[in-house]
Structure formats: C-alpha cells, structure tokens
Structure 1
Amino acid sequence: MPADLTQLQLLTELEPTAEKELNRHLSLAREWHPHDYVPWDKGRNFAAMGGEDWDPEQSQLSEVAKAAMTLNLLTEDNLPSYHREITEYFSPDGAWGTWVGRWTAEENRHAIVMRDYLVVTRGVDPVALENDRMTNMTKGAHSDDLNGLLRGVAYVTVQELGTRVSHRNTGKACNDPLADKMLQRIAADENLHMIFYRNICAAALDLAPDQAMEAITSVLTNFAMPGIGMPNFRRMSLLMAKYGVYDIRQHLDDVVWPVMRKWGIFDRTDFGARGEKSREELAAWLEQTDKEATRFEEQRDRFLAREAAKRERVDA
C-alpha cells in the first residue's frame, strides 16, 4: 500500500494547479468598489454628532432579513481567523501565498460593503452589531478538525458555495433592490472563490484519490458553517432555515451534490480500499441527510401553514 503524500508533497504537486487557478481567477474577477453599492443619501448622523440614535422602527428589513444580514456579516468579520487558518495549510510562498492575499482582500471587501449598507440604511442596531462583532472576533473561528491541506480545501469548497447561496437568498429576503444588487455582487465573488478551491480539490482527487476521498467524507459528514460560534447563531440560523434563506435541503441539493457531481465522486474507478470505504460512508450520510431534509421541509410547511392561518384570523 503506497504511503500517503505529506503536506509538503501535496503543496508541491498541486502548486501548478494553484497557479493555473489563480491566473484564471484574476482574469475573471471583476473590479468593483464598496462605495458604489451603498445608498449614501439615506445616511444621517447618530446622537453623538447631533443626530438621532437607532430605533427599530427605522429599519425597513424584516426580522428574517436582519438575521441573515447580521449572520452573514459577522461571518465575514472573522476573516483574520480564516486568514490564519488558510495560511497554515497553504504556503506563504508562490501561487499559494498570492492566492491567500487576494482571497483575504476580496473577502474583506464583502464585510466593508455590508456594514456600510446596514449602518447607512439603519437596517440593524449598529451598537448591537458592533458589540457582537467584538465578541465574535475576540472568540475567533477555530477548525481544529481541518488540519491538513486536503481537509482545508474540501471545507472551503463547500463553505464558499454555501455562502454564495446564503448571500443570494438574503438579497431576495431584504426586499430592497439595492441590497439585492450588493449581495449578488458578493455572491459572484464567492462563486469564483469556490471554483478555485473546487478545482484544487479535483486535482487532489486525481493525485491522491484515497487520501482526498477520506478528507472529503470527513468534512462533509461533520460540516458546520464558520459562524456557528457567534452570538445568537442558533436563533438567526433557525430563522434563515424556516424562511428559505439557507436550510438543510439547500445545503444538500444546491451545495453538496453540485460539487459531488463536479468531482465525479460516484463515477470514479480509481479508489482503493480506503477510498471505497469513505465513499460508502459518504453515500450513507447523503441518504440519511436527504431523509432529514425531507422531515424538516414537512415540519416547516406545517409551521408556515399555521402561521398563515393565524394571520388570516387576525386580519378577518
């Protein structure tokens, strides 16, 4: 049985792919500026500068949109933690290092524009938002189970695509063309990021099939979005799931399965015993998760029906 490739060997063998994907990304990435997506004419001073502090009635966002925008922004805010972790399983040199710097700069732009939008439009309480940012960033994001290049790229492939779906659906939930346009722009960036990581992972599957398959299965069967430790995460994520911003069915059908098909996971014939075992484990997880998604959808449908009936009684 051949020995697993070391992290150094993986980085060396996959660097040509990283360089190719970096160049592809730079050729496709569109230049844009956060200030062009913020309605500055809606802004006004807060009390410290002679204006009026935030009041809930000033927000035009629904509770679902507030939760989704806040969760997505606080997730982006933990960028220093992500930068540290991705640097640990990539290399600071060559194409790897250039990518880390570029990716970090682009992700930071997302936090800038989202915060500017929320503060200018008074979409959420800026004091609560800042307090949550301080708590969230002080705690940081730690993924001890992602040690190693293969687990790292498998995770960010899924995470970036999940973030893209969440941003797009959040834009719709805001019921504001300006927010929708801004989040479409962010989602387009996230999609390009996903493609970089997805293609690195595809090359890893060709290079070390069993090793990569084990990493993919480990990541998918234990997956949690990076914001899981933030303040009020459970409440916000449940609201998003109940109203279709991001739920278990979307995670399975719009995130997991597309990358599985792109990697040809269930069509490959190059796995050894370890890879086959991991693929079988993944297949069982997919089947179970599909059942869980169906149960969730049924429960949600009943909940929304009761909610609609209650509104009708109130309006009658």
Structure 2
Amino acid sequence: MHELVLRDYRPTYICRRCRSKAAANRETVATVGHRLEKKIVVGEEEWRTYLAPERLEVVRQLEPWVEEHVLPLLKPVEASWQPSDLLPDPAALGADGFHAACLDLRAAAMGVPDELLVCLVANMVTEEALPTYPSGLNRLEVVRDATGADDTAWARWIRGWSAEENRHGDVLNRYMHLSGRFDMREVERTVQRLIRDGMSVHAPTSPFHGFVYVAFQERATAIAHGNTARLVGARGAGDAALARICGTVAADEKRHEAAYTRLMGKLFEADPDASVRAMAYMMRRRIDMPTVFINDGRHSVGDFYARFIAIAQQAGTYTVSDYRCILEHLIRQWGVEELATGLSGEGRQARDYLCALPRKIKRMEEKVIDKSAKAQNKPTAIPINWIFDRTIGVVLP
C-alpha cells in the first residue's frame, strides 16, 4: 500500500524521512512475506511426512478391518430408498394423481421462508457436486481405487459411498423442480460452476488428514440436513414432504459419518501421535464446507460463501455452535484428551491445542450473537438469484 501511494507522487517531493520509512516498510513486507512463505513450506513438509512408507503401512494394514467394520455400513441397493419413494411418481399415481400430488407439494412449499430456501439450495448444490468427492478420496495414498473397479475394501467403500450419496442430490433437485419456488436455471448454473471449480483440501494425498476432514464434514452435512428437516417440519414451516426428504438424507449422512469416524478412531489406536497431529493440522486451517467455492455468478467466490454462511447462521441450518459441537464430539470419540502414551512433543502440543479450541470457538459464538443483537435493525439486504432475486436481510460478519 505504501509503495502504491508513493508512486502517485513525483520523486522530487519525497523527503529523506519518507524514503527511509518506505524502505523500512518494504523490508518489513519482505520479512513478513519470507516468514509466511517459510510457514507454508513447513506446513507442506509436515503433511508430506505422512506419505512415508511406514506411515502408509499403518493405513494399508487396516484393510481387513475395513472389510469387517466399515463396508457393512453400506446398504444393499435393494434395501436402499430411492428418490421416487419420497416424491410423487407419475408411473405409480397416473396423470391425475400425479398432478394432484404436485399441487399439494407446491402448496406446502409456499410456507417455507426464503432464508431456508437459500440454505436448501446450498445443501443441494453440495450434494450435486458429488463428482468432486470420490475424486478427492481417490487421491489419497493406499485407499485409492486405482483402476475404477478395484476389489479392495477401500475401493468398494469409495464406490458404494458415492452411489449412496448420488441419491441425495437427485431427490433434493427433483423436489426443487416440483415445488416451483426456485429459479432452477440459476441453481443449475451454480452446480455447474462448483463442479468446474472443484474444492480445496489441505494435505490432499494424506489418508490421515483426509479422513479427519471427511469425518468432520459428514457430521456437518448430517447436522445441516437434520436442522433443515426440523425447521421445515410440522413445528416449523409445515412442509412434511421436504422434512421427510431432509431427514432421510441426514440419516444416510449419519451412517457415513460413523464409517469415517470409526476409521479415524482406528488410526488413533494404531498411531496416536500421527493422528492427533493430523487432526490439529486440519483444525488450524479450518474445516470449510465443500461449497467454499460456491458462486452465484454475481459475486466473487469467497464473498458469496461468506454471505451464505451468514444466512445459514441466521436461519439455524448450520451455525458456529454446530461447528464447535462437532469438534467436541470428535475429541470425545477419538479420546484426544486422554492421549498420553506414544505422543511426541509435537503430538502433545497438538493435543493441547485441540482441547483448548472449543473454548476459543465458544468465545467466537458469543461475539457473533452479540454482534447480531446489536445490528438487529441494520441487516444487509442480499438479492439471491436462486429465488428470483428476492432479498434476504442478514447481518454480515
């Protein structure tokens, strides 16, 4: 910034003191930049140690356990729900019955508030970006499905999990089409942009870090769908069909969460030092939703994501409190507070950081609530093209 200002003036008007100050600023910026670059390099070196053969061998030896304890969490196709079970089916109802059922669905959808509709779109877009997620798992060492039809337990899990997830976007998308509450062309453009832009995951090829992320994210997704089901249900907006859909999707996500949580728990047993350090690494960099690159075509990517997060916080579909509760849950599940034996100095620091983090997030929650209370009469009106440019009044961070 200082250099930009200086370029606006002629050199003859810059005094010696200003030149010295500018030089000092440039030196400071260079020093900070060097430190930042060094920090990034150190972080890169840290997670890459997880690709060492001895670390990957820990993961490789878990395959029989995955076969016995993780794969059974998938349901057979014949026992799985399908979108046609949850929405009007013209083949089963006939033309007149289908028309009547659609009118009933549209009438119930009219009672859902706009802010919940926006959150529903974001949830649906997250699910529809499915092609990105198995490709992410297939980047992880050891667990990847190298040929696309591997018979390893890891590969069968990835494909089975993807197949179950595929129904989530389908059923939400069909509901939105039938409800008439959404500008589906704009929604579909958002889906295309998100798949095109992908997602950014820290430590992209380390299974330790990858499983921390997915365990956290599957629980977050289950909570978001579950909260939406509650808010649109009989005690909320009164849309029973949407509540049933969101509740059904949330139940799937809970099974998937159980799989990844069990898997990461087994890694904590096998290598507690590596596991707790991987968890701390991911939490220091924050666990963002897979929709972090979501874009409505009008705003910059990060700006629109921040606006959606504020809307979700206000609507109650996914909040700072939910984020903290997920972290607390995983700390308990993986016994982080009790870890002692086998920890290095870095492992102990990671454990202490994780155990202190929920209190820091709690203070953040209090600030968010306080700011919202103070700014109740000063919300920002945000037009959302997904709902035909109707505006949502929200307090931005």
Alignment TM-score, normalising by the size of structure 2: 0.68
Measured against aligned partners, the alpha-carbon deviations of 1:169-194 in whole angstroms (never above 9, x if no partner) come to 11233321111111111001100101
- Among residues 320, 325, 328, which one is paired with 1:257 in the alignment? 328
- Report the counterpart of residue 48 of structure 1 in structure 2: none
- Among residues 224, 230, 234, which one is paired with 2:288 in the alignment? 224
Contact 1:150 1:212 in 2 (8 A): yes
Look up the equivalent residue of 2:336 and give its one-letter code: I
- Report the counterpart of residue 83 of structure 2 in structure 1: 34
- Among residues 279, 298, 312, which one is paired with 1:240 in the alignment? 312
Look up the equivalent residue of 1:102 and give its one-letter code: G
- Report the counterpart of residue 275 of structure 2 in structure 1: 212
- Report the counterpart of residue 116 of structure 2 in structure 1: 65
- Report the counterpart of residue 359 of structure 2 in structure 1: 287
Task: Give the superposition deviation at 1:265.
Answer: 0.6
Distance, in Å, in 2 between the alignment partners of 1:144 and 1:284 is 22
Measured against aligned partners, the alpha-carbon deviations of 1:130-162 in whole angstroms (never above 9, x if no partner) come to 111121111122324343000000000000000
When the two chains are superposed, the root-mean-square deviation of aligned CA atoms in Å is: 2.3
Contact 2:203 2:210 in 1 (8 A): no
Distance, in Å, in 2 between the alignment partners of 1:126 and 1:238 is 23
Gaps of 5+ in 1: 45-57, 308-316
- After superposition, the Cα gap between the structure-2 partners of 1:301 and 1:21, relative to the gap in structure 1 and judged at 3 Å, is farther
Distance, in Å, in 2 between the alignment partners of 1:132 and 1:23 is 33
Higher mean C-alpha deviation, range 103-112 or range 143-152 = 143-152
Distance, in Å, in 2 between the alignment partners of 1:128 and 1:105 is 26
1:109 equivalent to 2:140? Answer: no
- Report the counterpart of residue 63 of structure 2 in structure 1: 15
Look up the equivalent residue of 1:159 and give its one-letter code: Q
Higher relative contact order (CA 8 A, sep 6+): 1
Distance, in Å, in 1 between the alignment partners of 2:224 and 2:120 is 10
- After superposition, the Cα gap between the structure-2 partners of 1:227 and 1:64, relative to the gap in structure 1 and judged at 3 Å, is same
Distance, in Å, in 1 between the alignment partners of 2:206 and 2:158 is 16
The structure whose Rg is larger is 2
Measured against aligned partners, the alpha-carbon deviations of 1:241-266 in whole angstroms (never above 9, x if no partner) come to 0121111111102x111111111110
Question: Between Structure 1 and Structure 2, which shows a larger proportion of helix residues?
Answer: 1
- Report the counterpart of residue 211 of structure 2 in structure 1: 153
Contact 1:168 1:183 in 2 (8 A): yes
Contact 1:172 1:180 in 2 (8 A): yes
Measured against aligned partners, the alpha-carbon deviations of 1:59-83 in whole angstroms (never above 9, x if no partner) come to 5431211111111111112211111
Secondary structure at 2:175 match in 1: helix
Contact 2:211 2:263 in 1 (8 A): yes
Gaps of 5+ in 2: 1-48, 90-97, 104-108, 296-303, 380-397
Distance, in Å, in 2 between the alignment partners of 1:146 and 1:284 is 26
Secondary structure at 1:145 match in 2: coil
1:137 equivalent to 2:137? Answer: no
Look up the equivalent residue of 2:180 and give its one-letter code: R
- Report the counterpart of residue 314 of structure 1 in structure 2: none
- Among residues 131, 135, 155, which one is paired with 1:97 in the alignment? 155
Between the two proteins, the alignment pairs up a number of residues equal to 291
- Among residues 130, 142, 146, which one is paired with 1:79 in the alignment? 130
Look up the equivalent residue of 1:229 and give its one-letter code: F
